[in-house]
Each structure stands twice: as C-alpha cells, then as structure tokens.
Amino acid sequence: MTQTEHHPGPLVFAAAPYLNAAPLTEGMRHRKDVTLVEKAPSALAACLASGHADAALVPVVDLLADPGLTMIDGLGVGADGKVVSVLLQCNCPPAEVRHLTPDPRSRTSNLLAQLLLRRHWGAPSVTLSTNGATADATVIIGDRAMGSRPAGHAEYDMAEEWKHMTGLPFVFAVWAYQRDHPRAAELARMATASYAAGMDTVDTIADRFAKRIGLTPDFCRTYLTHHIRYTIGDREQHAIDRFVTLLKQHGLTPSKEPTAP
C-alpha cells in the first residue's frame, strides 16, 4: 500500500533509465506533483509490490504474472518489427543453441529469447547459463545493446524475429499499477500528459542520450520515432495474448519473481 493512499501528495512513477522509456517519462521530470524513480526493468514490479511506486513501467511478463496489477490503457513500449535494442547474440546457428545467458535486467526479453529459440528456430533444448564465456547465445537489451559489438556468429533483433514468426508487433513493457489504487484516474492522466510532453521534446531527448550512450542524435531520434511504438491498440493487445499462449505451450509461463527495489 503506497503512502499516497493515506496522504495525497506527489505520485511516484518508476521506470527504467533507458532511451526507449524517456518519451514516456520526460514530462514527469520537472513536475512537483510527480516523483520519478529509475530502476532496472527487473526491479520495477517489486517497486509496486513494496509500495515504493504508484505506477511502474513494468516488463510485460510482470504484468502477466501478477493478477493484482492492471495497466494504464493505451501506453507502453513496443515495436512493430525491428527494435534495435533487444538482441540475441549467437556464437553458433540459433538451432544449435544449448546454453543461453539471459540479461538480468529483463525477464520479458529472456523469455522471448527462449521462445524464439524453441519455436522459431527449433532449438531442442535450451538451458540458462550465467557464464557468458561458455554460452552459445546471449540476450542483451537497452542502451547497451545499441552500442554492443557484433556477435561471433550472428546477431538477431528479437522484435523483428517475433514479427517474422507471428506477423504481430511485440510489447515489451506497460505502465502498471495496483488494481485497487485510489488515484487510478490521476495515474492515467499523468502518464498520458507525460507522453505528450515527451513526444514534443524528442529532439531534446535524443541529444541528451546521444551524449550519454555514445551514439549520434540522428540515430537516437530515428530509434524513438521509427523503431519504438508507444501506443497499445488492438494489435498490441492481441500480441500480448499471443505471447502468453505461446509461452504456455512451451512451458515458459511467467511466474511472479519479485526483486528488491
């Protein structure tokens, strides 16, 4: 239970400090009625569970794993094809991958990688390994992925491969909050207003992150305006449902695994 349930005050939003989240959070940075907390994607659901945040931009598997959460309609982080920042780097052909090193920051990308390896490429058995030196493939996400070195065998954009496999976009994260939150309408209004402000300042965001992660402003701008999709409509909802169905078929059903904030 968050303190705002007893003492209305600044609403607390939590999100990852990545370029892809910036247009959703930009409008919150200078408001006195909002506090923005930045955490790794894997820690965001725990911020909600512990009451450290009123809303969080959680990986979609965390939404699916917790029936107590619901999403702010219409907003999230997704892609309809190539996304650039969620990669599977392989040291052998994907069908031959046996040991996968997950990225500890996002369970959604790790589950997507396992699903693609099994269903899309036909890898018969994939185990997770924390030893990147001996792994056949590695999941790499976020700003780090965009500046990464090429893989030994090949590098695959996982949103693009999902589109090849299903014909659908992919949703990586959504704004989520506890279903019984007394200020749900305010959370939705804040999130919508922040996104509008963010899209009005894309050039400023691109310039700031270009310096931070060592990429060009043009690359960052193209990434935000062409690769990332921030609206969740019927196709995106269908894609989430399809992801759930395929995970269950392959024994990869999301489970609730809270991480300390």
Report whether CATH 3.40.30.10 matches the domain 3-78+171-249. Answer: no
Higher pLDDT, 5 or 190: 190
pTM of the model: 0.89
Instruction: Please check the confidence at residue 22 and state whether its pLDDT lies above 70.
Output: yes
3-78+171-249 and 86-166 agree in CATH topology: yes
Q: Tokens 């030196």 sit at which residue?
A: 133
Crossing angle of helices 158-166 and 107-115, in 10° steps, is 50
What is 86-166's CATH superfamily?
Periplasmic binding protein-like II (3.40.190.10)
Q: How confident is the model at residue 207 (pLDDT cuts 50, 70, 90)?
A: very high
pLDDT confidence band for 23 (50 / 70 / 90): very high
Categorize the per-residue pLDDT at 145 as very low, low, confident or very high, splitting at 50, 70 and 90. confident
CB contact set of 170 (below 8 Å; sequence gap of 6+): 78, 79, 80, 83, 112, 158, 159, 162, 163, 239, 243
pLDDT for residue 153: 79
- The residue ranges of every structural domain in the chain are 3-78+171-249, 86-166
